Every structure is written in C-alpha cells, then in structure tokens.
Amino acid sequence: MSNYLILTQTLKAAGMRLTPQRTAVCRFLAESDEHPTAAMIYDELKLQFDSFSLATVYNTLDALVKLGAVNALGGVGDDSVHYDADTEPHVNLACLSCNKIVDIPSEHVTHLDDEITAATGYKLLGARVLYYGLCPDCQESSNR
C-alpha cells in the first residue's frame, strides 16, 4: 500500500474526516523525503487553496503523530519540528556540514523495539534515532 493511502486510511480509521486540506497534507508528506516542517508544508499547500491555515497543518500532523503513522523529529539543528512519514525502524543520519538528512536501514535498529519493550515494559509509540557526522563529500571538502 502506498504511503499516501496509509496516512489517509489511518485518519479515516480513527474516525476523522478526510477533508481536502488533510489529504493534501498527507500527499505532501508521502511524496516528500525531505523531512518537512509544518511551515514548509503550509507554505507549499497554501498555493493550492483559496484559504488555508497553519493550524490545520498542525492539527493534521498532531493527529498522524498520535496515531503512530508519522514521526516527529525535534531538535534537529533548526528550532522547528520535522516530520517523517516513514515509521519503519531506520536511522536518520544528518551531515553537520551540508545539513542534509538521509534515512538508512539498520540491522540493529530493527531489533531495538523488541529489546526495549522486553527490558522496560514501556508501550512504545515512536522513536528517533539520529546520528550526526560528516558525509563522504563533506569530508573531502574539509580536506582541501
């Protein structure tokens, strides 16, 4: 199932209405791999509606986060929260020089959930695994 359908069906299954604004937020999230902020989503989508409000963006994002379909990534360098529609276990890897964030799959991260649940009894709702470093390109640049 496409990521877009997962998001919209998640909202519907929770008894929420599928308004044009909400489906637009879901589509934008699903089609982006840029980990957008609420403001980035708003700036883009307001062009598509006669009127459109940041509050609607937050409303939709909060619902998706609470439903576990989207991860909120806070404290990533700038001071706003980035959203990631990929909730499969993976590592976010940020380059401190060029500020790109890439997703990478990880053998060990896929096992973390089970390990943590077994060790603590917490009910896990989400995770953020964020590494910082210098990407290969920027390592080169800094050597020149």
Partner DNA sequence: GACTTATTTATAATAATTCTAAATTTGGAA
Partner DNA sequence: TTCCAAATTTAGAATTATTATAAATAAGTC
Interface with a copy of itself (CB under 8 A)? 72-76, 81, 91, 93, 95-96, 102, 104, 106-109, 111-112, 115-116, 119-136, 139
Stretch of 27-35, 75-83, 96-104, 121-129 contacting DNA, by CB under 7 A: 75-83
Amino acid making up residue 95: C
The minimum distance between CB 100 and a copy of itself, in angstroms, equals 11
Amino acid making up residue 132: Y
Can residue 92 be called a binding residue for DNA (CB under 7 A)? no
Q: Which residues pair with 92 in a beta bridge?
A: 103, 130
Can residue 48 be called a binding residue for DNA (CB under 7 A)? no
The minimum distance between CB 106 and a copy of itself, in angstroms, equals 6
Q: How far apart are CA 114 and CA 7, in angstroms?
A: 24
Q: How far apart are CA 72 and CA 78, in angstroms?
A: 14
| Identified binder of DNA from the candidate list 17, 121, 142, 144, rule CB under 7 A | 17
Reading phi first (left if > 0) and then psi (alpha if -120 to 50, else beta), residue 99 is in left
Can residue 4 be called a binding residue for DNA (CB under 7 A)? no
Can residue 22 be called a binding residue for DNA (CB under 7 A)? yes
Q: Which residues pair with 143 in a beta bridge?
A: none
Q: How far apart are CA 105 and CA 108, in angstroms?
A: 9
Q: Which two structure tokens, joined as six digits, stand for 7?
A: 């998001």
> Which residues of the chain form contacts with DNA (CB under 7 A)?
16-22, 37-39, 49, 51-56, 58-60, 62, 74, 79-81
